[in-house]
Amino acid sequence: MLILTCPNCGETKDESELHAHGEAHITRAGPEATDEEMETYLFERVNPKGVHFERWHCSYGCGKWFHAARCTNTLEVFGTYSAQTTEPPKEIIDILDKKRPGWSWRKFGGTAQ
Amino acid sequence: MKRYSAFAIAREAFRYHTGWERAWRSPEPKKKYDAIIVGAGGHGLATAYYLGKNHGIKNVAILEKGWLGGGNTGRNTTIIRSNYLQDPSAAIYEKARSLYEDLSQDLNYNVMFSPRGVIMLAQTEHEVRGYKRTAHANALQGVATEYIDARRVKELCPIMHIEGPRYPVLGGLWQPRGGTARHDAVAWGYARACSDMGMDIIQKCEVTGVRRENGKVVGVDTTKGAIDCDRLGIVVAGHSGVVADMAGFRLPIESVPLQALVSEPIKPCMDVVVMANTVHGYMSQSDKGEMVIGGGTDGHNAYTQRGSFHHIEETVRALIETFPMISRLKMLRQWGGIVDVTGDRSPILSKTPVEGVFINCGWGTGGFKAIPGSGWGFAELMATGHSPLTAEFGLDRFREGRFIDESVAAGVAH
Ligand SMILES: Cc1cc2nc3c(=O)[nH]c(=O)nc-3n(C[C@H](O)[C@H](O)[C@H](O)COP(=O)(O)OP(=O)(O)OC[C@H]3O[C@@H](n4cnc5c(N)ncnc54)[C@H](O)[C@@H]3O)c2cc1C
Ligand SMILES: [Zn+2]
């Protein structure tokens, strides 16, 4: 069972008290966007086997949103952080560089494309 | 290949069963094939089979990182039905269902297709309306289904408690020629037939890279070395995103675990398949007598073939209201598979941005039932560049907004 700590209320909860909402740091496409940009925003996902940044909702807790960095293959949680950011904070990047050298994920991280 | 028959059993009985052959060969890879299929699940094997049978393309290798049928094909709850809402879905699922009817004869391998009938329970007013609509759509599509009332549901499945306090059974969508088949046998039967046509099934051979020249595929890198090919079919279910990444494109897919469990074997008590979508559970009885139960998917992306425990608990808890007798059963085994879910809950059978690379994925929680039809259509697409069965399932539909929305129609794993 996944156990995550909500950075808003500080409570450590198991996944049945939280709700996962998929990939984080997606750039919202506006009315002027091309079809490709709209498709990328709405549907296309990294879906990695490895490091993943994702949105969570503290649904049976404080009711606020947060982000988590997690491995989809081992379920190791690297850390959770505020949802009020467009990219993972330095502490999380440092942990990943140490634990998963060469990791990549969209535009962040070592060998990022 | 020696054919299986009643006579063969008698013949072998007289010589102490010493004459049975291996069902398929396990060769080393050749340097080059006309077509390579990545993934020896049901969809990959069926694709190879119909490439050979319908299109005469037999210089084919099927590469599998584990053992054949060890992915979702060997992990699913084997429900077969074709009562979908949208026309393109009904066409491909009904093609598959009708091929299942005589697949055992076609493959000379008993896939134990059992058209025992499938009921999808309506337990809310919303579902009643939804299933009536589907029954009308099915009538127009030529798929035999019927909306039945609660009394008829109880007649078909007497162990059901239809007056539940939370989710009373109001009626159901009944497909009399839906049912189940033996999942392993489907993979093994296709594998044996492919091998017999001279195709190479290479197990423990993981594809690690897709080699391209000038935007066209020229081969793959594998744990058994590089292998060349003219055409490549990627049919790897939960790992579609990983292999597409090797070929340099992304997919509108997320991979999540889906679980199932079986009880201890008991005497026959239920001779239909029942799906209860509101409570996210479905159940049938296997030929061994085990109650086979499937549930919902995990909420978060993962590649661990086990899934979260609380989903099992939720599924069983919810099913107990409708099937009180299962509260006394011991559950024997639980497992998970990684399913590839698309935004509109419909599969992708498509050309890709790389010339010569085709992808068949996105079957998500419900692709076992589709194996023969998917293989039929995808083989036609790979051989000729077009198939009426797959035309609507292209990758470009997401950009163009031509969704084949089955999320409302199904609403649950199956
Ligand atoms: C618990 C559960 C219950 C289900 N219940 C039903 C049901 O009742 N009815 C229904 O219709 N469907 C059901 N499904 C869905 C169904 O199982 C799948 O849609 C279907 O089996 C997919 O078949 P496939 O051949 O595409 O994939 P798989 O059988 O998963 O085959 C893909 C293969 O690709 C291989 N592979 C992956 N990456 C590589 C690589 N890099 N190199 C080489 N090989 C690779 C894998 O090892 C695997 O063997 C269920 C699924 C699960 C998990
Ligand atoms: Zn909180």
Residue range B218-248, pLDDT digits in tens: 999 999 999 999 999 999 999 999 999 999 9
Show the tokens assigned to B61. 């290798």
Say yes or no: CB of residue B43 within 6 Å of ligand 1: yes
Domain B118-178+255-342 in CATH 3.40.1440.60? The answer is: no
ipTM: 0.92
Mutation site, A47, A55, A66, A113, interface B, largest B CB count within 10 A = A47
A59 CA distance to ligand 1 middle (Å): 32
Residue numbers of chain A with a pLDDT score lower than 50 = 110-113
Report the pLDDT value the prediction gives residue B407, as an integer from 0 to 100. 73
Q: Which residues pair with B351 in a beta bridge?
A: B358
pTM, entire model: 0.96
Nearest to B301 among A39, A47, A74 (CB): A47
Separation of alpha carbons B145 and B341, rounded Å? 26
Superfamily classification of domain B27-82+84-108+183-252+344-409 = FAD/NAD(P)-binding domain (3.50.50.60)
Residue whose CA is closest, atom 49 of ligand 1?
B71
Q: Where are the domains of chain B?
A: 27-82+84-108+183-252+344-409, 118-178+255-342
Say yes or no: CB of residue B46 within 6 Å of ligand 1: no
Contact A73 B304 (CB under 8 A): yes
pLDDT tens per residue, chain B (414 residues)? 889 999 999 999 999 999 999 999 999 999 999 999 999 999 999 999 999 999 999 999 999 999 999 999 999 999 999 999 999 999 999 999 999 999 999 999 999 999 999 999 999 999 999 999 999 999 999 999 999 999 999 999 999 999 988 999 999 999 999 999 999 999 999 999 999 999 999 999 999 999 999 999 999 999 999 999 999 999 999 999 999 999 999 999 999 999 999 999 999 999 999 999 888 889 999 999 999 999 889 999 999 998 898 999 989 988 999 999 999 999 999 999 999 999 899 999 999 999 999 999 999 999 999 999 999 999 999 999 999 999 999 999 999 999 999 875 444 555
Give the count of beta carbons closer than 10 Å to the beta carbon of residue B372: 29
Show the tokens assigned to B178. 């839906």
Size of interface A-B (CB pairs under 8 A): 72
B254 touches chain A (CB under 8 A): yes
Show the tokens assigned to B227. 């292998």
Pocket of ligand 1, candidates B236, B255, B285, B312: which has the most ligand atoms within 8 Å of its Cβ, to mutate? Answer: B236
Report the pLDDT value the prediction gives residue B54, as an integer from 0 to 100. 98
CA-to-CA separations, B322 to B52, B132, B157, B276, B318, in angstroms, rounded: 46, 21, 11, 9, 8
Residue whose CA is closest, atom 12 of ligand 1?
B366
Q: Where are the domains of chain A?
A: 3-108
Nearest to A49 among B242, B343, B398 (CB): B242
- Specify whether the CB–CB gap between A16 and B310 falls below 8 A: yes
Is the CA virtual torsion B128, B132, B134, B138 positive or negative?
Answer: positive
Over residues B153-178, the pLDDT tens digits come to 999 999 999 998 899 999 999 999 99
Neighbour-count burial for B117-156, b at 16+ CB within 10 Å, e otherwise: bbbbbbbeeebbebbeebbebbeebebebebbebeebeeb
CA-to-CA separations, B162 to A16, A43, B119, B172, in angstroms, rounded: 29, 40, 13, 11
Q: Which CATH class is domain A3-108?
A: alpha beta
